[in-house]
Amino acid sequence: MAEQPQAIYLKDYQVPAYLVDATTLRFELADDQTRVRSTLTMRRNPDAPSAPAPLELHGHESLELCRLAIDGQDLAATDYQREGELLSIAEVPASFVLECTTRIHPQTNTALEGLYLSGGMYCTQCEAEGFRRITFYMDRPDVMSVFTTTVEADKARFPVLLSNGNPVDSGEQGGRHWVTWEDPFPKPAYLFALVAGDLQHIERPYKTASGREVALRIFAEPKDLDKLDHAMDSLVNAMRWDEDVYGREYDLDIYMIVAVDFFNMGAMENKGLNIFNTSCVLASPQTTTDAAYQRVEGVVAHEYFHNWSGNRVTCRDWFQLSLKEGFTVFRDAEFSADINSRTVKRIEDVTLLRTAQFAEDAGPMAHPVRPASYIEISNFYTLTVYEKGAEVVRMLHTLLGPELFRQGSDLYFERHDGQAVTTDDFVCAMEAVSGRDLTQFRRWYSQAGTPTLRVTDDYDAATQRYRLHVEQLLPQTPDKLEKLPLHIPLSVGLLDERGADTELDGGATTVVLELTEQRQSFAFEGIKARPVPSLLRGFSAPVRLQYAYSRDALVFLMRHDSDGFNRWDAGQQLAVEIMQGLMADYRQGRALQLDQALVDAYAAVLDDETLDPAMVAKVLSLPSEAYLSELSECIDVDAIHAARNFVRAELARALEPALLRRYEALAPRCDYAPSADQVAQRSLRNLCLSYLMALEAPAHLVRARAQYDGCDNMTERQAALSLIAHSGFEVDAAAVLEDFYQRYENETLVVNQWLAVQACDPKPGALARIQALMEHAAFDLRNPNKVRSLISTFCAMNAVNFHDASGAGYAFLADRIIEMNRLNPQVASRLLTPLTRWRKYDEARQALMQAQLRRIQGSGELSRDVYEVVSKSLN
């Protein structure tokens, strides 16, 4: 048996023994193989401990080494050692030139790391450790080098040859051509990129704030050229925003984005040459929903923002991943909030955090924002590092205020430009500008788990004093470390009996209480009557809040809270409480009955024409099954599904005339645009239709079908499609699915939506339908987008079927993971997520899920990715 993969620890970090001053690469792309020649100008690191150390280069097992030479002298096989992913040379001069030639096989690379083929084009993915699949190198982010890259390929089939930086030379000979690119900014190997293909592009000139001219180019396959304008608009907006809000300008003459079909993640910020999953860059009204338009905007901005938060200042080691990801997610969230609706964006982000990140933080893969160890770093591109990491940066922003935060960010970029640094360096910059001691705040980076805030209050009419008592509870996590109290900003407001904000400190209506102890009390003086507290406004910290609101108080907050986020959240809490009661009734076999309070509250919101329709849609959206699951001690998928469907249908019955009225009134009056108002209107209109369809009435089916047939955009069509497809009208469901496929057969991304709609159909028999779809021409196990659309959607969004008591869903997933483990370890490992949550289910399901985890564990040679998640889950 192969050796068990070993963990790597943050505490073992050592500075690199050598540095790479310059990297020259030559790629010769051919059908059966690619030859990579590298020339590295290297020297001993003056900051390393003085005794000369062996030179250690990383190289994946799949690398074929053709030649290795130092200062022109070929090394013999006995001059170096290859063991696992390391190649070591015992003795090297203080400074030297290392030459290396490797042979690689992009055409059989299904892992999609390193150099691979996507459709007919070559592309690379080097973060985190993909460069070692290209050549032997010091593949660690604290080794930064300038790169000069020559790409040579067949001219007819690969007319476009790209790499980082600027093109400086080119030529051709006998049907082949080559281009040399030079990137003047030193960068770690994970930011290297190369693309070769038959691509076309759109171009737009951009002038930076200081007057530099930049050419913006977005490349895609010719058939997708008409779907690039939205990404280009988003890029220009992001560049302007980063100049205005952070004072950051772009630094090269060209900024390129390339769209590829086969990609493990959303997109990658390679210096000057971003590579994007087509799903995060292509957009057109006929093929793309509003939600996808917004995702494109957000991801384009995210990758652009990385040019400073990630590239100019990068990570010292992969434990610091949140240094770039948490900060950049915070930046892109603020960008989207400024461009669209701030409150809606916040609601969406908090929904993701509370549903998926909280679940991760409560499971066997829980880890701090700055992990202390890992087996496979690819497993740590997580909601915790990204989303919770962004919340940690947001808390700094809240504690310092916008001006000091901006000064801190300026200082951070100024101090560390061109360096590879740590999350602590970021906090130090914030400390330096604010004069605050953030020692305790740093625990957010090192402690895993979601804190709970238990809040109680009292009011004394005689002294007009209102007090809040807050206790922080820190959960046990797999690392078994002792938890110390966190420094938590708790934003609060107090509503008087009319619902108006009370003036607190110096006239402010929201104050930030700073919790630093396990138990703390805060007094408010001069409060004329017992207020209703609005706690954790804007979700000021990533915590679970407990306060015993009455249903009346929640309705009151829904109506009056000046904080839009909390108005929405009060409605969610009310709905959760009601559904939890109904779940208990369902389990006891009692008749279900809906509390009129929810009907009245929803009716009031639905009738309020002064509210932003996007907010109305958010407030009237019931908490998802996934969120109800996360809140459950022991998840009862059937009770959740039954209770939620019951509430939906009851609301629809009670509110039918009002829903219909708003549905009709929101009928589109002009051509599609992804503008904020139109997006808002469509979201509410589709929500109204979804309630109406819950009534399973033929008249509403006709309405949905009319929307499907009559609309001019994918947002309306896809909403109607999924409502009809999931309805009990089976003949109509089959017909609309067939029609949709016929229309969009040639649009891969739309076909993926078609797969996803079927994958989350809650009707019985889903597994058989999924298995049939796996045989369909539209499916391809090698394409991660298709795996996500069909398999991940089924497992994550179709709980009643996936968790079928027979265990067939679990066995199906385990089979897919065993297959994917060989093809694409990163995707295989992500597919494991639902099985890692086995402790949250009843005993019978726990046993079935564990059995499948064990079956995977014993299925043969596991990738590090799958090994780590399976073994931690069974621990």
**Which residues sit at the interface with ligand PHE, rule CB under 6 A?**
125, 127, 264-265, 267-269, 302-303, 325, 381
In angstroms, what is the minimal distance from the CB of 414 to Zn ion? 22
Which residue from 393, 412, 740, 415 is spatially nearest to 540, judged by alpha carbons?
Answer: 393
In angstroms, what is the minimal distance from the CB of 377 to ligand PHE? 9
* Tokens of residue 606, six digits: 């639905």
Of 127 and 224, which CB lies nearer to ligand PHE in the complex structure?
127
Interaction partner, residue 265 (Zn ion, ligand PHE, none; CB < 5-8 Å by kind): ligand PHE
Q: Determine contact, residues 195/176, Cβ cutoff 8 Å.
A: no
In angstroms, what is the minimal distance from the CB of 668 to ligand PHE? 34
In angstroms, what is the minimal distance from the CB of 637 to Zn ion? 33
In angstroms, what is the minimal distance from the CB of 325 to ligand PHE? 6
Question: How many Cα atoms occupy the beta-carbon half-sphere of 564 within 13 Å?
Answer: 14
Separation in Å, CA 264 to CA 61, 114, 126, 261, 414? 21, 12, 12, 10, 33
In angstroms, what is the minimal distance from the CB of 544 to Zn ion? 26
Of 322 and 690, which CB lies nearer to ligand PHE in the complex structure?
322
Q: Determine contact, residues 408/430, Cβ cutoff 8 Å.
A: yes
**Binding marks (x or -) toward Zn ion, 230..249, rule CB under 5 A?**
--------------------
Question: What are phi and psi for residue 566, nearest 5 degrees?
Answer: -70, -30
Of 265 and 723, which CB lies nearer to Zn ion in the complex structure?
265
In 119-238, beta strands by DSSP E:
121-125, 145-154, 160-163, 166-173, 176-187, 194-197, 200-207, 213-220
Vertex 210 angle, CA 208 and 214, to 5°:
30
Separation in Å, CA 184 to CA 22, 88, 195, 312, 336? 10, 29, 19, 12, 31
Of 269 and 625, which CB lies nearer to ligand PHE in the complex structure?
269
Measured between alpha carbons, how far is 115 from 121 in angstroms, rounded to an integer? Answer: 10
Of 298 and 493, which CB lies nearer to Zn ion in the complex structure?
298
* Tokens of residue 88, six digits: 């070591």
Of 387 and 732, which CB lies nearer to ligand PHE in the complex structure?
387
In angstroms, what is the minimal distance from the CB of 306 to Zn ion? 6
Measured between alpha carbons, how far is 333 from 349 in angstroms, rounded to an integer? Answer: 8
Helix, strand and coil content of the chain, in percent to the nearest 5, comes to 45, 20, 35
Which amino acid is located at 406 in the chain?
A: R
Of 150 and 328, which CB lies nearer to Zn ion in the complex structure?
328
Active-site amino acid positions: 303
Q: Determine contact, residues 515/487, Cβ cutoff 8 Å.
A: yes
In angstroms, what is the minimal distance from the CB of 769 to Zn ion? 35
Separation in Å, CA 133 to CA 66, 160, 329, 557? 14, 23, 28, 56
Whether the link from the prior residue into 128 is cis, omega within 30° of 0, is yes
Of 487 and 830, which CB lies nearer to ligand PHE in the complex structure?
830
Of 325 and 501, which CB lies nearer to Zn ion in the complex structure?
325
**Binding marks (x or -) toward Zn ion, 395..414, rule CB under 5 A?**
--------------------
Instruction: Tell me if residue 866 falls in helix, strand or coil.
Output: helix
Interaction partner, residue 568 (Zn ion, ligand PHE, none; CB < 5-8 Å by kind): none
Segments in 694-791 forming alpha helices (H): 698-710, 714-726, 730-744, 748-759, 766-774, 784-787
**Binding marks (x or -) toward Zn ion, 319..348, rule CB under 5 A?**
------x--x--------------------
* Tokens of residue 321, six digits: 């991943």
Other Cβ atoms within 10 Å of 462 Cβ, number: 5
In angstroms, what is the minimal distance from the CB of 130 to ligand PHE? 8
Measured between alpha carbons, how far is 210 from 130 in angstroms, rounded to an integer? Answer: 36
Of 132 and 662, which CB lies nearer to ligand PHE in the complex structure?
132
Strand partners, 470: 455, 520
In angstroms, what is the minimal distance from the CB of 265 to Zn ion? 9
Segments in 340-379 forming alpha helices (H): 342-352, 358-361
Q: Determine contact, residues 231/257, Cβ cutoff 8 Å.
A: yes
For strand 18-29 and strand 465-473, is the pairing parallel, antiparallel, or unpaired? unpaired
Interaction partner, residue 127 (Zn ion, ligand PHE, none; CB < 5-8 Å by kind): ligand PHE
Measured between alpha carbons, how far is 677 from 120 in angstroms, rounded to an integer? Answer: 40
Residue nearest to ligand PHE (CB): 265
Measured between alpha carbons, how far is 491 from 801 in angstroms, rounded to an integer? Answer: 41
Interacting residue ranges for Zn ion, rule: CB under 5 A: 325, 328
